[in-house]
Amino acid sequence: MARNTEEAWGGALIHNPDQYQTMPLGVVLRRTPGVTRWAKWSWKAVAVLPGAGDADWRLLRREGDIEEYHVSTPHLELHGADSEAYLAGLSDKVPAVYVVLRQPVSSERPYEVLLVTASPYEAQDYADSGEDVVEKVAMPEGLVAWVRDFAQKYHQDEEFVKRRRDKHRIDQTEDGVGDARISQMTDVYRAPSAARNKEQMH
């Protein structure tokens, strides 16, 4: 595998391979009876399984009409350039991972998992498209720690740049307001040196 500025991984480009980590993350969907006559079933992402193996709609639990499936195991990818977004997500009361679901064109399955992301900004982009379903799933504690460690390692606060003084302004001896040759009420606030200079002009 090439280790250049951009590196291919799973068909995607990694712009900085040195600031990249990935983890297999199983996605669990729950099926419940639909609440309208137009939809027989309702589907919702309810859990993620860090480090899970491959799966293809494996039934995990059945209670009456309620079923839960380990649908698939995409990789959660972390990129150093997105560390600010990860920290923003972790600041929520309940840190979450976002599951993006898409209805397949021709399949008996109701959804396919397009991706999982820890970035609320990326999730919002998919939600705004209107083409996909974005589900927010609470992160297990171990996943929270993994994402936080990565984000804190690569996050860089915006560097504070001290404003440089204007050299022309520094060199000026005038420290009052307006033209020094014209008497002003503000003369009472002038430094003695400026007052003397003003008197010498007359």
pLDDT score of 157? 60
Residue 143 dihedral angles phi and psi, to the nearest 5°: -70, -40
Give yes or no: residues 113 and 195 share one domain: no
Q: Tell me how many domains the chain contains.
A: 2
Question: Is position 57 within any domain?
Answer: yes
Cβ neighbours around 149 below 10 Å, total: 11
113 and 179 assigned to the same domain: no
In a domain, 102, yes or no: yes
Average pLDDT for the chain: 79
Q: What is the DSSP letter of 189?
A: G
**Are residues 196 and 147 part of one domain?**
no
| pLDDT tens-digit series, residues 128-163 | 988 899 999 999 999 999 999 999 998 876 444 444
pTM (predicted TM-score): 0.70
Is 176 within 8 Å of 186 (Cβ atoms)?
Answer: yes
Among residues 159, 156, 185, the alpha carbon closest in space to that of 84 is found at: 156
State which residues form the domain around 189: 175-201
In a domain, 197, yes or no: yes
Q: How many CA atoms within 13 Å lie on the side-chain side of 86?
A: 26
On whether residue 51 sits in a domain, the answer given is yes
Read off the pLDDT of residues 155-196 as tens digits, 9 standing for 90 and up.
876 444 444 544 444 444 444 444 454 444 444 444 455 545
Between helix 83-90 and helix 120-129 the angle, nearest 10°, is: 90
CB count in 10 Å sphere of residue 197 = 14
Q: Is 35 in the same domain as 104?
A: yes
92 or 183: whose pLDDT is higher? 92
